[in-house]
Structure 1
Amino acid sequence: MIVDEEQKKEEKSKKLFADLCECYLLLNGTFSSELFSICIFCLLKVALKKEENEETQKGVEMALLALSKIIAWNEMGQELFLNAIKEIMKYHQKHHNLTRLAYQSAWQFLINRLSYEKSLEGVIVNELHFVREARKELEELAKSVDWKRKAEENERRGKERKEEFVLLRLLQTCGSYFLYCNLWNEEFAGLIDDIVQALKVSKDNYRETFKECIYSLKAAADNRAVKIDFLVKGGAVDAILEEIQQQTMDDKLTLECTRFFESISSRLKE
């Protein structure tokens, strides 16, 4: 159906074409090289739209969400995506036209490429300023969540629940950044501090957010570019040590905390 719709080149079929590409990326685990390129070109074209009406904004959000599902092992040439995704991000940084979910999805799509495209490190760190943008988003999202209210109570509060979902995805993106990016920037320390703060406020009522903070800090501990002092002196070690002493931890979280301390120990020995 995607191939058929692409060949029509008709204005009326563009919405169906984009919908099919989104479904293909969101639902499929593997991609054919032909359809892969077709879908990326289609959805980046949708994501480049700058009209501020609700329908366009929703279309942009869905296109970027679908693109963010292309995980790290999908190798692609930079000519497929780089200029377009840079334009999308820089325009948003100037005009704030994207939803938070759309902006976070754009970052996830780009950072997923780092496992194959190491040359993107300079673009992400020095040109698009991921750490600066992530810190700003974390701060704003943290303000929108009532940390004293139990997470299940938020099922009735749609907007706050959505903000929590975007916060979770942003923490996942930070974890991917720490995992793949080895270009040190002094702003790293501030981002680690922000994640530690999110870990502390989420531990009682927002366990999914708390767990994602642990995973991100573990990725930072494994990254040789991250200076160990920022993890030891920044409070990450104390916060996770306090948690690992609790009797109610699940096995997966216990394992992740233990691995965090193994990484810290190994780095300190060096």
Structure 2
Amino acid sequence: MGEQPENVSQQNIARRGSRMFAPGEGPSPDPAGAHFERRIRSFQPRRSRVTAGQAEAMLKRWPDWGLDIDGKRVLDLDGMFGGLPVVLEIGFGMGEATAQMAAADPGTGILAVDVHTPGQGNLLGLADRNGLTNVRVANGDAIILLREMLTEDSLDGCRVYFPDPWPKKRHHKRRLIQPDFLTLLATRLRPGGVLHCATDWEPYAEQMLEVLSAHPDFENTQPDGGYAPRPAFRPLTRFEGQGLDKGHVVHDLLFARKPRDRDDR
């Protein structure tokens, strides 16, 4: 077994305490810190161990392709993506599907948000090995990103694939797809921009459909007002395949940002 490069050794990581990477070399444990209100979140940070390959990809690509969601600056998406239309992906797991979509559509930039450190390193590694220059990895809270760091009409779409369903009733308030989230997202989506959700948790799919259908800023792209067939551009993920093997039914929802009224322009 070959030696690990010194800069990704477990000894160095241990010396940094709770921070896995030095400032500027990788994601921060809590990038927004105490700058913003404490509130109920739809996610739980998972700082599990990264592999040597994931750490090496992080050290190589994070300075150019990664960013912490600290809420202290407004992002220049045109500069980041060379003028490409940009889609926000919230929660990408290990990044395999994100990398496939980026490779299939190099004319679209993907701003991929997650808090899972191994997944961040894995996606950066996939992007690096496959020359996917249209991917950027953001670490932290997507709400702070939307509210503090993105401008109005800056996104061409948003993808939320298999978010945590928070199945217990007392945890339903933690689900991401809620009216307040949709109202915020609508300000960042250009008119016509599509929010694409997918879940294999039936009760959450029903809630998504109900909340989205009732929201004044969104309209269902399906004429019958129901779920959409899985679009060809959304890859079948390993996680999804496992759910299908268990008999789960996957629902896709595609809702477009409504055109603004003349008085709102």
Q: Which has the higher helix share?
A: 1
Instruction: State TM-score, norm by structure 2.
Output: 0.36
Q: Which has the higher strand share?
A: 2
Instruction: State TM-score, norm by structure 1.
Output: 0.35
**Structure (1 or 2) with the larger CA radius of gyration:** 1
